[in-house]
Each structure stands twice: as structure tokens, then as C-alpha cells.
């Protein structure tokens, strides 16, 4: 039972009874501000032409009619031209009964919309890093939220497995690797390949320095450095399917995929389908040819293909290099076309950092100019950078925070802080390890997802694991606390399964109001692609329950009916916390 819809209908009925037919846009309803008594507030100013009375008189007349004709609106008050309506406890009791009776509470009815969401999108020349963590957590959570809104969601990963950057790692391994493998080195495969990407850069810079010393400009030196020329030749050989180069590419990418799988599993994210740039870039080339044939694109003297977007307020954009090799835009055009055609998509969401805002603006525009109307259904979910306080985390080569290091550090920090607070007393070692993993990852995920995606954020590991305040562990601990109460009730043989009707305390009504908001919160989070809305909701619900738990006994309540209702209420709060946190990809322990 949606409280806002109920109040809106009650208002509409009374306004029409008093003044005649009303346009829905004239009924402006909002939640009552906390400093006033009420649940919902009607703004009466749009109705004054109909009532032909002052704002106060209009509000009073509508309020009196609603209360007289609707038993679930218990009272009203008027502040200037604003009508504050108070919903009766009987309505909230009905809402609570509905929450309890709804098995899949928080899950919307099917929409039959097909939505694809792409996230992660790593390169196969280095391990996942902190930026990938925000990307993966955001993408996975938005997918969960869209599913909860009744959509068919396809989670995909586009692996950038080809190109000059991949050849750099391959060439450096050929030149300096001496046959090193993940097995022989004891390194994760993605870390090993990343090591040779760094190795390439080291030698490249040294060669540039030598060429500049010989009299070349820095730009010339960058183009003529022997190791760069070798990498470019390797890319041409790869595109020509040279066996030696292709075999090495498959081997080293295999090492990287094995490494990625370990990281994805640790993060708790997955994909329904993986696309590979190596399989899509040729389709992109055919689209480029199509654009040339249609006169949408043009070719320069060096053979490169471009589109002129200056009349759209942008600039000229490269679509294919002069030597015939692809750029990112080439393969993104091909991938978009294949996805929409193969999956009959209604929407396509790309979770990519804000440094690519321009790229996706161009992608949509190019597709539109090629005649693909579905380009309007492409959405770039842009997010800001994640920064760390200095010295808090290990950093490879002093620049990139490694995802595996960060995950391990979060789990060990959770162990250290849980031990300090005695949260693991009485746990077996296996239980303690599971709880610390859940708390460490819950802290990481919640801290990142509670921030609006568009904002750059500072991630502080110790602050994220604080068991008080707006953190994942605070919400997890609230859930564990409720589970402890319910276990004790079961052990004492207390049956609270039968619905009971008792007079509700104001604090109990507040909790029921929070529970009743879940469907609209989930809908709002989907509409805005914002897990932060779910995070804020879970925190406020947990905070409200902790206040209630502090002030009112549950198990020691002597009135059996009240005790049963309170246990049921606690069980529903735990259930909604579980649901909310699952939408963020966070597990909640039953013991802490």
C-alpha cells in the first residue's frame, strides 16, 4: 500500500467533491517537513482559482472534508497555504500487514524491458585497480537495482584485449621476460603481465632520452623510439593473424583472465556475457565503410577516416587510422550495433569514468547520423575518481592502488578492528574469517556506493570500517543484532508467526513508515542510477531501529501480543536491511 498514492487519491476525491474536476498537475503533494506535524503536505496555491478562497481557508476546507470522509486520515493542520495531513495508525497497521505478507517485498512487477549494463571494461595489460573497484561495484549494484524494478538485465564486460597497449606488454615480455610465467614466478597472471607493461614504459623512456640527446625533438623521439616501432609492427602482425604473435597474445591474455577471475570473485561481481574488442573491431570497420558510402564520414590524404561534428558544437573525430587499424570509437560503434540487434535492447548503459564523457557524446551522435534511432537509448553512467589518503594503502609503482591489495587490506583491517572491539568473541576461526571478509568488503562497498557516482571521493579504509556512523559495518551490526534477538526468541520457544493487532507506539509507526518506503526508494534509485539512494535508506532504517531498540524492550516485554508484534517488526527490519544491502552487493552477517 503506497502511502503517497493513498493520500493523493484522498486529496483528489475531496478536491473534486468540493470544487469539481481537477487536473492532476494541480495536486502538488510532498512529504511534510520534519519540523511540522504530518506525513504529507498539500500545496493549495494551484487550487485557489477553483476554491475562490484564501490559501488558509482553502486548506482548512479540504482538510475538514478529507478527515470527515476518510478514516485513515486522522487529523490535519494548516500552515499558511500548506495543508499537513496526518495518516492514522490504522493505515500503518495495514501497511505493516502487507509488508509481512508479501514474499518478494521490494521486487517490482515485470516490465519486459531489456536493459544491458556494461561495467569493468579492463585492459589485458595490467591488474584491476581502485578505479576499477568503483566501476565494478557501481555497475553491479545498478544492475541489481534495475532487476528489482522488474527489468530483464544483462550484465556485460567488454574486455579491451587488443591494441597497441596490449602489444607493449607482449613485446616487453618477449624482449626481457626470459620465459617467465605465473607458475614460475608465483605471481597472479594479471600482475605478471602488468609488470611487463611497466617494463616497456621504462625502456621506452630511456630510448626517448637517448634520441633527444642525439638531437631529435621529444615528439620525434617518441615516434622513432625502436621499441615503439616494434610494438606498432607487432600490432600490424596481430591484425594479420601472424601465428607467433597471435599465440603469444592468447597465452598472455589467458594469464590475465585467470587473474581477473580471482579479483571478480573476491569482489562478488559477475557478468552474464563477456565481449572482447578483438571480436568486435572488424564489425566497427564495416560501419566506418558504411559511413563513408553514405557521405557521413570523410577520408583524409593519409587514408584515415573522420567525421566532422563542428556543426554540432564538437570537433572532428578520428574513426579509423591511416594504416587501417582501429581506434576505440571503431569498436564501440560495432559493439553497440551488435548488442542492440542480438539482444533486442530497450536501453544500454555504459559505466565508464567521467574522463570519457566526450567519447560517449560522440558515440551517440555518430550512431544517430548513421541512422540508428536507438542511439537515444544509450546512457553513459559517468563516475568520478576515487582518491586515498597518502600512506593508507600500498601502491604499485607509486601510482596505482591495486585492487587485490586493497581487498586484502580491507579484510585484515576488519579483523584488527573487530578483535579490538571484541566482535569476534566466541566465534570459531572459520566463522571469524567469514565475518571479517563480509565486514571488510561491506565497508569498502558501502563507503564507495553511498557517494553520488558523479562525485570524486576520498576513500579512508579505517573510517569505512567504523562500527558507528554511516558505514556498512554499522548496518551489518544492526542486522546481526536483530538476528541475535530472533535466535533468543526461537530458543525460548516464543512463537511470533501469527499476526497480532496492538496499539502502535509512535516509534513503531516510524519504523513501519520506513519499511513501507522500500518500493519507492528502489524505484528512485533505478530512475537515477544511484545506489547512494539505497545506501542512505538502509542507514536511516538501521539508525531508527537502533533508537527504538535502545528505548523499548523486545524479548522482555511482558505483554505477549506486544512482544510478538515487536519481534515481527524486528524480523521485517532485518529482512529489508538484507534486501537493501543485497542491492548494493553487500552480505550481512547473522552474528557479529
CATH code: domain of residue 53: 3.30.1360.70
Integer Cα distance of 509 and 367 in angstroms: 52
Last residue in a domain, options 87, 105, 128: 87
Look at residue 386 and tell me whether its pLDDT is greater than 90: no
pLDDT winner (highest mean) among 332-336, 394-398, 500-504:
332-336
The DSSP secondary structure of 450-482, one letter per residue, reads TS-TTS-EE--HHHHT-SSSSSHHHHHHHHHHH
Model-level pTM? 0.91
Q: What angle do CA 299, 367, 293 make, to 5 degrees?
A: 40
DSSP state of 400: B
Integer Cα distance of 304 and 314 in angstroms: 19
Integer Cα distance of 314 and 582 in angstroms: 41
Examine residue 152 and state whether it is found in any structural domain, yes or no.
Answer: no
The DSSP secondary structure of 231-271, one letter per residue, reads HHHHHHHHHTT-HHHHHHHHHHHHHHHHHHHHHHHHHT---
Q: What angle do CA 517, 523, 526 make, to 5 degrees?
A: 140
Examine residue 68 and state whether it is found in any structural domain, yes or no.
Answer: yes
Examine residue 530 and state whether it is found in any structural domain, yes or no.
Answer: yes
Integer Cα distance of 592 and 590 in angstroms: 7
Q: For residue 130, which of 474, 456, 587, 473 has the smallest C-alpha distance? A: 456
Look at residue 584 and tell me whether its pLDDT is greater than 80: yes
Look at residue 397 and tell me whether its pLDDT is greater than 70: no
Determine the average pLDDT of the residues in 142-166: 96
Integer Cα distance of 491 and 177 in angstroms: 62
CB 467 within 8 A of CB 479: no
pLDDT at residue number 498: 77
Examine residue 494 and state whether it is found in any structural domain, yes or no.
Answer: yes
Write the pLDDT tens digit of every residue in 62-77.
999 999 999 999 999 9
Give the strand order in the sheet containing 378-383. Answer: 273-276, 152-159, 114-118, 347-353, 378-383
Examine residue 322 and state whether it is found in any structural domain, yes or no.
Answer: no
Close Cβ partners of 389 (under 8 Å, ≥ 6 residues apart)? 458, 460
3-state class (DSSP) for residue 114: strand
The DSSP secondary structure of 550-585, one letter per residue, reads HHS-STT-SSHHHHHHHHHHHHHHHHHHHHHHHHTT
Determine the average pLDDT of the residues in 291-312: 95
pLDDT at residue number 1: 67
Write the pLDDT tens digit of every residue in 232-275.
999 999 989 999 999 999 999 999 999 999 999 999 999 999 98
Per DSSP bridges, beta strands 386-387 and 457-458 are parallel
Last residue in a domain, options 45, 70, 87: 87
Please tell me the number of Cα atoms within 13 Å of 103 on its side-chain side: 0
Write the pLDDT tens digit of every residue in 488-501.
999 999 999 877 78
DSSP state of 425: T
Q: For residue 39, which of 30, 47, 48 has the smallest C-alpha distance? A: 30
**Greatest Cα pair distance in the chain:** 94
C-alpha distances in Å from residue 462, one per residue of 129, 392, 418: 19, 9, 12
Integer Cα distance of 312 and 309 in angstroms: 5
CA dihedral 98, 99, 100, 104 (to 10 degrees): 110
CB 583 within 8 A of CB 471: no
Q: For residue 279, which of 193, 370, 160 has the smallest C-alpha distance? A: 160
CA dihedral 450, 451, 453, 454 (to 10 degrees): 160
Tell me how crowded residue 590 is: count the other CB atoms within 10 A of its CB: 15
Residue 168's pLDDT band (boundaries 50, 70, 90)?
A: very high
pLDDT at residue number 394: 40
CB 368 within 8 A of CB 376: yes
Examine residue 170 and state whether it is found in any structural domain, yes or no.
Answer: no
Burial of 552 (0-12, 13-18, 19+ CB in 10 A): middle
CB 392 within 8 A of CB 413: no
C-alpha distances in Å from residue 325, one per residue of 248, 282, 303, 307: 20, 10, 11, 16
pLDDT at residue number 396: 37
pLDDT at residue number 553: 93
CB 378 within 8 A of CB 356: no
pLDDT at residue number 331: 83
Last residue in a domain, options 63, 87, 111: 87
Residue 391's pLDDT band (boundaries 50, 70, 90)?
A: very low
Integer Cα distance of 348 and 114 in angstroms: 9
Host domain of residue 51: 3-87
3-state class (DSSP) for residue 324: coil
Length of the chain: 592
Q: For residue 307, which of 324, 290, 323 has the smallest C-alpha distance? A: 290
Examine residue 195 and state whether it is found in any structural domain, yes or no.
Answer: no
Determine the average pLDDT of the residues in 152-171: 95
Lowest mean pLDDT among 12-21, 279-288, 341-350: 279-288
Determine the average pLDDT of the residues in 150-172: 95
Rg (the chain; Cα; Å): 30
State percent of the chain over pLDDT 70.
98
Integer Cα distance of 263 and 124 in angstroms: 14
Residue 390's pLDDT band (boundaries 50, 70, 90)?
A: low
The stretches of 268-391 forming alpha helices (DSSP H) are: 277-293, 328-343, 357-369
Examine residue 346 and state whether it is found in any structural domain, yes or no.
Answer: no
Look at residue 400 and tell me whether its pLDDT is greater than 80: no
Query: The domain spanning residue 492 has which CATH number?
Result: 1.10.730.10
Supply the mean pLDDT for the chain. 93
The stretches of 294-356 forming alpha helices (DSSP H) are: 328-343
CA dihedral 399, 400, 406, 408 (to 10 degrees): -90
For residues 445-459, one letter each, b for 16 or more C-beta atoms within 10 angstroms of the residue's C-beta and e for the rest, the string is bbbbbbbebeeebeb
Q: For residue 150, which of 312, 346, 300 has the smallest C-alpha distance? A: 346
3-state class (DSSP) for residue 435: helix
Number of domains in the chain: 2
Amino acid at each position: 500500500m503506497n502511502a503517497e498514492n493513498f493520500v493523493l487519491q484522498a486529496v483528489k476525491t475531496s478536491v473534486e467533491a468540493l470544487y469539481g474536476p481537477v487536473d492532476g498537475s494541480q495536486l502538488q503533494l510532498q512529504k511534510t517537513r520534519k519540523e511540522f506535524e504530518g506525513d504529507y503536505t498539500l500545496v493549495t496555491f494551484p487550487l485557489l482559482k477553483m476554491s475562490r478562497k484564501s490559501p488558509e481557508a482553502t486548506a482548512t476546507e479540504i482538510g475538514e472534508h478529507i478527515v470527515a470522509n476518510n478514516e485513515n486520515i486522522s487529523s490535519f493542520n494548516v500552515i499558511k497555504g500548506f495543508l499537513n495531513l496526518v495518516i492514522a495508525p490504522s493505515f500503518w497497521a495495514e501497511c505493516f500487514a502487507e509488508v509481512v505478507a508479501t514474499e518478494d517485498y521490494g521486487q517490482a512487477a515485470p516490465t519486459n524491458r531489456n536493459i544491458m549494463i556494461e561495467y569493468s571494461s579492463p585492459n589485458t595489460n595490467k591488474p584491476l585497480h581502485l578505479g576499477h573497484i568503483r566501476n565494478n561495484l557501481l555497475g553491479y549494484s545498478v544492475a541489481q537495482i534495475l532487476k528489482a524494478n522488474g527489468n530483464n538485465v544483462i550484465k556485460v564486460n567488454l574486455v579491451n584485449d587488443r591494441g597497441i597497449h596490449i602489444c607493449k606488454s607482449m613485446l616487453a615480455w618477449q624482449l626481457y621476460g626470459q620465459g617467465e610465467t605465473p607458475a614460475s614466478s608465483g605471481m597472479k597472471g594479471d600482475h605478471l603481465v602488468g609488470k611487463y607493461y611497466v617494463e616497456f614504459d621504462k625502456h621506452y623512456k630511456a630510448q626517448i632520452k637517448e634520441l633527444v640527446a642525439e638531437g631529435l625533438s621529444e615528439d620525434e623521439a617518441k615516434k622513432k623510439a625502436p621499441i615503439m616501432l616494434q610494438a606498432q609492427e607487432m600490432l600490424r602482425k596481430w591484425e594479420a593473424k601472424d601465428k607467433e604473435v597471435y599465440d603469444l597474445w592468447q597465452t598472455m591474455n589467458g594469464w590475465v583472465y585467470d587473474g581477473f577471475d580471482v579479483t571478480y570473485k573476491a569482489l562478488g561481481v559477475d557478468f552474464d556475457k563477456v565481449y572482447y574488442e578483438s571480436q568486435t573491431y572488424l564489425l566497427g570497420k564495416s560501419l566506418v565503410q558504411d559511413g563513408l558510402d553514405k557521405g557521413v564520414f570523410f577520408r583524409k590524404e593519409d587514408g584515415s577516416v573522420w567525421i566532422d561534428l563542428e556543426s554540432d558544437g564538437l570537433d572532428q573525430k578520428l574513426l579509423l587510422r591511416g594504416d587501417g587499424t582501429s581506434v576505440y570509437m571503431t569498436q564501440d560503434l560495432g559493439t553497440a550495433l551488435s548488442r542492440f540487434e542480438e539482444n533486442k535492447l530497450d536501453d544500454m548503459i555504459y559505466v565508464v569514468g567521467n574522463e570519457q564523457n566526450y567519447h560517449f557524446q560522440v558515440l551517440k551522435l555518430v550512431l544517430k547520423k548513421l541512422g540508428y534511432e536507438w542511439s537515444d537509448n544509450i546512457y553513459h553512467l559517468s563516475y568520478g575518481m576515487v582518491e586515498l589518503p597518502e600512506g593508507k594503502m600500498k601502491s604499485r609503482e607509486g601510482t596505482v592502488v591495486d585492487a587485490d591489495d586493497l581487498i586484502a587490506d580491507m579484510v585484515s583491517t576488519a579483523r584488527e578492528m573487530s578483535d579490538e572491539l571484541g566482535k569476534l568473541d566466541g566465534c570459531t576461526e572459520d566463522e571469524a574469517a567469514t565475518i571479517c571478509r563480509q565486514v571488510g568488503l561491506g565497508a569498502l562497498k558501502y563507503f564507495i556506493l553511498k557517494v553520488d557516482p558523479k562525485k570524486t571521493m576520498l576513500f579512508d579504509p579505517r573510517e569505512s570500517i567504523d562500527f558507528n556512523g554511516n558505514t556498512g559495518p554499522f548496518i551489518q551490526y544492526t542486522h546481526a543484532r536483530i538476528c541475535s534477538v530472533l535466535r533468543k526468541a526461537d530458543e525460548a520457544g516464543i512463537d511470533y508467526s501469527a499476526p497480532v493487532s496492538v496499539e502502535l507506539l509512535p516509534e513503531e509507526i516510524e519504523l513501519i513508515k520506513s519499511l513501507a518506503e522500500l518500493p519507492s526508494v528502489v524505484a528512485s534509485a533505478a530512475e537515477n542510477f544511484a545506489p547512494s539512494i539505497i545506501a542512505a535508506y538502509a542507514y536511516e532504517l538501521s539508525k531508527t531501529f537502533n533508537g527504538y531498540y535502545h528505548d523499548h524492550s523486545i524479548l522482555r516485554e511482558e505483554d505477549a501480543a506486544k512482544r510478538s508484534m515487536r519481534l515481527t517488526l524486528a524480523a521485517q527490519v532485518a529482512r529489508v536491511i538484507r534486501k537493501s544491502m543485497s542491492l548494493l552487493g553487500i552480505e550481512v552477517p547473522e552474528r557479529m
